[in-house]
Amino acid sequence: MRLKEGNKGNDILTAAIKVFAENGYHNAKIHKIAELAGVATGSIYVYYKNKETILQKIFEQLWERLYNELNVISKRSDINSVEKFDAMLDLLFDVFIQDPALAVVFVNEQNLLLQKKPKEFTPYYQKFIDLGECIVVEGINNNVFHPDVDVKIVRSFIFGGLRFLLHQWAQNPGEFPIDKIRQNVKQLTKQGLLL
């Protein structure tokens, strides 16, 4: 018997995130992912059924992690709704700051997968979204958030704004300090533009 050496499955995933981020999913060549992962082209197909499966796995891991961490936040009883809202934004920032390439892939390719194979998209995504919604509803019920906003619309707006900013930052990290972005997003979502 022979054991698989190292963790090639993970190496491939990490390499794929980089290559997908740089070239976009459709322009990413399998052979380049293999090269970056330090394996042969054929090995990719030992670990993943095909190119699309790699993308699916990336989102699976991402959303599972985000959901689990948001779950912890939403259950805390030592902080109020506004603080939970803050913590949620921080969570998203922290995850993507750790891995800018992942931020780019997330922004560019999530729609692709969701549109093409909605059934096979990780359920953790929906669970995360639902939790985020809960936090805002809780804030409304506790009289700290405007009651006349539609939670689903607000959720999508903030989510979309964040996506776009993270994408910009990931492609050109020097342009803005990420903490300035973080601070502005919190200001804007909570207070708005008006004085």
C-alpha to C-alpha distance for 128 and 134, rounded to whole angstroms? 10
Please work out, in degrees rounded to the nearest 5, the angle formed at the alpha carbon of residue 15 by the alpha carbons of 95 and 36.
Answer: 150
Q: Which is nearer to DNA, 44 or 102 (CB)?
A: 44
Which of DNA, its own copies, none does residue 170 bind to, with CB < 5 to 8 Å depending on kind? Answer: none
Find the shortest distance in angstroms from Cβ 89 to its own copies.
11
Which lies closer to its own copies via its Cβ, residue 123 or residue 160? 160
Answer for the pair 152, 133: CB distance below 8 angstroms, yes or no. yes
CA atoms within 13 A on the CB side of 93: 19
Residue 115 interacts with DNA (CB under 7 A): yes or no: no
Choose the one of its own copies, DNA, none that binds residue 2, judging by a C-beta under 5 to 8 angstroms depending on kind. DNA
Give the number of other CB atoms < 10 A from CB of residue 119.
Answer: 4
- Structural contact between residues 185 and 165, judged by C-beta atoms closer than 8 angstroms: yes
Cβ at position 75, least distance to DNA in Å: 39
CA 133/CA 157 separation, integer angstroms: 12
Binding mask 19-48 for DNA (x = CB under 7 A): --------xxxxx-------xxxxxxxx--
Q: Where on the chain is the footprint of DNA (CB under 7 A)?
A: 1-6, 8, 27-31, 39-46, 50-52
